[in-house]
């Protein structure tokens, strides 16, 4: 997941629920501790967000030993009426691609 970004005060464009979902999309067996560090949230907040996403049917998990493996319901549509018809897959295609682009960085891009 890389280095943790500096703290940010004020509003942002992406919700914590979307950030957590993107972190899980990047690694389906990611630990809550790692999601929390990456998203700059507490582990308790991440647990609550995961519970929200599971309750709404966007996410499920199976336990394998000490590890949770998450499954995202890619075809589920987003909740807000302004995004009517947009799927989780559409949202994640933007967020996960952005994560990959940021990992490369402008100084290390292939020419």
Residues 72/92, Cβ–Cβ less than 8 Å: yes
Model confidence pLDDT, tens digit, residues 43-53:
999 999 999 99
3-state secondary structure of 38: helix
pTM value is 0.79
* 21 Rama class: left (phi>0) / alpha (psi -120 to 50) / beta: alpha
CB 28 within 8 A of CB 69: yes
Query: What is the rounded distance in angstroms from the CA atom of residue 42 to the CA atom of residue 83?
Result: 28
Task: Place 108 in a pLDDT band, splitting at 50, 70 and 90.
Answer: very low
Q: What number of residues does the chain have?
A: 111
In the three-class reduction of DSSP (H, G, I as helix; E, B as strand; rest coil), residue 100 is classed as helix
Average pLDDT value for residue range 27-52: 96
Q: For residue 20, is pLDDT > 60? A: yes
More confident residue, 44 or 3: 44
76-98 pLDDT tens trace: 999 989 988 899 999 999 887 65
């Amino acid at each position: 997941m890389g280095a943790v970004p500096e703290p940010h005060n004020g509003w942002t464009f992406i919700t914590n629920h979307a950030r957590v979902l993107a972190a899980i999309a990047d690694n389906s067996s990611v630990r809550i501790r790692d999601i929390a560090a990456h998203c700059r949230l507490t582990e308790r907040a991440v647990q609550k967000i995961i519970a929200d996403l599971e309750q709404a049917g966007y996410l499920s998990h199976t336990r394998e030993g000490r590890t949770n493996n998450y499954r995202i319901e890619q075809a589920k549509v987003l909740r807000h009426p302004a995004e009517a018809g947009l799927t989780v897959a559409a949202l994640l295609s933007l967020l996960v691609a952005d994560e990959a682009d940021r990992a490369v960085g402008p100084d290390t891009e292939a020419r």
